[in-house]
Amino acid sequence: MTVKKVIVAGGGVLGSQISLMCAYAGIDVTILIRKEDSEEQTRTKLARYAAMMLQDLDQAELFLGVPEEQAVYPHGMIRDWKDLNRDKLAQMIGDTRQRCHADLRIVNELSADLFQDADFVVEAVTENPEIKTDFYESIRNLLPAKTIVVSNSSTLLPSRFAQHTGRPERFCALHFANTIWRCNTAEIMGHSGTDPEVYRKVVEFAEQLNMIPLQLHKEQPGYILNSVLVPWLAAGEALWVNGVADPETVDLTWKVGLGCPFGPFEHIDVIGLDTVYAINKMKPDAQVEGSTIYRLNQLLKEKIDRGETGVNAGIGFYDYRNTRKEK
């Protein structure tokens, strides 16, 4: 099945990026925002991400004929370097300029016309179960029978919404990562009622978008990536909080021992200490005085209060203000 028409609900961070990736793949895409949302804000995001995509594509010229470097190039932009040359690259850049820009179609009203012939609705609205439920209820009677609905939710399982879509068998999660054209993972997770044929079509859709489809066989909070990432971060944090080793030594061990490019604390700096702190505060032991997570949050809070929230602030566990040096 070749997907031709997609409606992306939500013009935020992920909605903008998914829409641009649809446009990049030559798919007719419309962004659905709420009446109270600002079209201008979405257009600003589209312009910013489109510029980043084009910048990456411009740099591809440096990678032509250097296969060992191509492995680290944003895979969502170019998957196949085999027959790529300067002329073809120039053509791709021209096509991208035409397709990916701030003027993508944005609508703020629901109607059956909007969804007519839509192959997919990608739900990328606010990560709030009530907001998502209301959204599914609002579109369920407007969709053509053929439309497949997918949720980009990072934390909420599809079974929670399946009945609200009115088409549980044509619904599952399709989870993209931030900076979709670079980190081109697409985790695909059905619920027990997802039709296997629909699941297969979602895998094909992900491939059409230049994503690497990562198939989950059952529901799992955190999908694959966060199910591995979160315990990895927690193990590193525990070594620090319990006085076993300092962050630099934990990172160094991981990098030298396994040949990985970064360790857990360098990654926390990228995520942002405030985000990690907010997530940690929701963990069951967070209020238990003396627990590892309680003490970790105290240490994180001290750093956050000093403005050391990570790469974006210029300082976190490491100092990025000049060339990076260990603190």
Residue placing its CB nearer to ligand NAD in the complex, 161 or 240 = 161
Residue 37 touching ligand NAD (CB under 6 A): yes
Among 30, 96, 147, 153, binds ligand NAD (CB under 6 A): 153
Task: Name the residue with tokens 């857990």.
Answer: 264
Residue placing its CB nearer to ligand NAD in the complex, 37 or 195 = 37
Residue 126 touching ligand NAD (CB under 6 A): yes
SS3 30: strand
Can you give the three-state secondary structure of 226-265, one letter per residue?
Answer: HHHHHHHHHHHHHHHHCCCCCHHHHHHHHHHHHCCCCCHH
Residue 14 touching ligand NAD (CB under 6 A): yes
Residue 125 touching ligand NAD (CB under 6 A): yes
| Residues from 167 through 206 that contact ligand NAD (CB under 6 A) | 175-178
The neighbour count for residue 76, using CB atoms within 10 Å, is 26
Among 32, 53, 121, 189, binds ligand NAD (CB under 6 A): 32
Residues 6+ apart with CB under 8 A from 58: 93
Residue 10 touching ligand NAD (CB under 6 A): yes
Residue placing its CB nearer to ligand NAD in the complex, 159 or 240 = 159
Rg (CA), the chain: 21
Residue 227 touching ligand NAD (CB under 6 A): no
Among 19, 96, 152, 210, binds ligand NAD (CB under 6 A): 152
Residue placing its CB nearer to ligand NAD in the complex, 152 or 165 = 152
Among 3, 8, 9, 20, binds ligand NAD (CB under 6 A): 9
SS3 109: coil
The neighbour count for residue 245, using CB atoms within 10 Å, is 14
Query: Is residue 100 within 8 Å of 82, Cβ to Cβ?
Result: no
Task: Say how many residues touch ligand NAD, by CB under 6 A.
Answer: 24
Can you give the three-state secondary structure of 135-174, one letter per residue?
Answer: HHHHHCCCCCCCCEEEECCCCCCHHHCHHHHCCHHHEEEE
Spatial distance between the Cα atoms of 131 and 127, rounded to a whole number of angstroms: 8
Among 3, 6, 33, 313, binds ligand NAD (CB under 6 A): 33
Residue 38 touching ligand NAD (CB under 6 A): no
- Residues of this chain that interact with ligand NAD (CB under 6 A) are 9-15, 32-34, 37, 124-127, 131, 135, 152-154, 175-178
